Amino acid sequence: MKAAKVIHDTVQTTLGADLRALRKTRGLTLADLAAQLGRSVGWMSQVERNKSEPALDDLRQLAKVLDVSVSSLFRSNATDASEVGVVVRAGARRPIGSREAGLVEELLSPDLTDDFEMVHSTFEAGASMDKTVMRPTQEAAYIVSGRMDIWVAGKSFDVSAGDSFRIRGEPYRWSNPHSEPCIAIWVIAPPVY
């Protein structure tokens, strides 16, 4: 029973820290976020400091305002208390990120409190991002397996297993016109998910 409480407490600690990191990355103050949620600054502060646990409806609203999936705010499997904040097991990765069809992203970093985040991305065969996006980040990716096309600042690149590339706040989009998934590891600074 005691071990279960430790796991619950450490996951909640991660939630508060992740919410604070997401809020700051989006340039929001506590007052800004509280106002968008219709909550008090005090309540938001307590949630970030893990003094108050948000209800599921609160988490849904937080996810919407911070533009993340609700599932990204939860761990998928129980984590050994001694590993929280240090080790992420393959079966315990949190789903995060893009809502693009054909793209599955999982957080490899233990949480969002560092200056960067690591993401495991699977680009399904035939999937593509049709709209060019640009975000205020520096990103580097390493292709583990498969192939994909990436457009960075208007230039097209065909990348495959063993290749890597960088995006520095430039417009980009991707496509996997091939018959097998493409798996990539991304490092993104600052964290955006």
**pLDDT, one tens digit for every residue, the chain (193 residues):** 333 333 333 344 578 877 887 788 788 899 999 999 999 999 999 888 888 888 888 888 888 888 777 766 765 455 677 887 788 888 888 787 666 779 988 889 888 888 899 999 999 999 999 899 998 899 999 999 999 999 999 999 999 999 999 999 999 999 999 999 999 999 999 887 7
Q: Domain for residue 116, yes or no?
A: yes
pLDDT attached to residue 25 = 75
pLDDT attached to residue 63 = 83
Q: Domain for residue 69, yes or no?
A: yes
pLDDT attached to residue 71 = 67
Residue 6 shares a structural domain with residue 43? yes
128 closest CA partner among 176, 186, 180, 181: 176
Domain that holds residue 142: 97-189
pLDDT attached to residue 99 = 63
Strands across the sheet containing 94-96: 94-96, 103-107, 117-123, 182-189, 138-145, 164-168
Residue 127 shares a structural domain with residue 62? no
CATH number at residue 112: 2.60.120.10
Residue 126 shares a structural domain with residue 47? no
pLDDT attached to residue 139 = 96
Q: Domain for residue 178, yes or no?
A: yes
